[in-house]
Amino acid sequence: MFYVQRDASGHLQRVEVAPFEGMSETLTAEAHEIQAWFANQDVESSLLQLKQSDLDMIRVVDDLVHLLIIKGVIRITDLPPAAQAKLLTRSQARESLGGLSRLINDEESGII
């Protein structure tokens, strides 16, 4: 049994496993609305996780490109002009913050 609260349009606004102040009704676990609610919660959680992962991957790709340039594997001029501009802007911003070392969190041990 789930305890729910609906908004003015009748859509589920809150779902809990215990009664709460402001609840308007109860629904069973088999109810379509309950299943859709939890499916939506799973999707939102996954999207949030991917969004955070995207931010982390930007940092990895940035570090990787920087490393490849330092090692002479690629030249910045090998990249499209838009990519060059973005990398240079990020590089300047990172340098103004004290370089790579100040961007590494305590739990991280290095660039990669």
The residue ranking higher by pLDDT, 25 or 47, is: 25
Q: Which residues contact 22 (CB under 8 A, 6 or more apart)?
A: 5, 14
Specify the residue for token string 């959680």: 45
pLDDT at 93: 87
pLDDT tens readout for residues 35-94: 888 888 877 877 788 888 888 898 899 889 989 999 999 999 999 999 999 999 988 888
Ranges of each domain in the chain: 49-112
> Global pTM?
0.47
Query: Percent helix, strand, coil in the chain (nearest 5)?
Result: 55, 10, 30
CB 63 within 8 A of CB 111: yes
Q: Above 70 in pLDDT, residue 107?
A: no
Q: Above 60 in pLDDT, residue 34?
A: yes
14 DSSP 8-state letter: E
Average pLDDT of the residues in 93-109: 63
Backbone angles phi, psi at 29, to 5 degrees: -60, -25
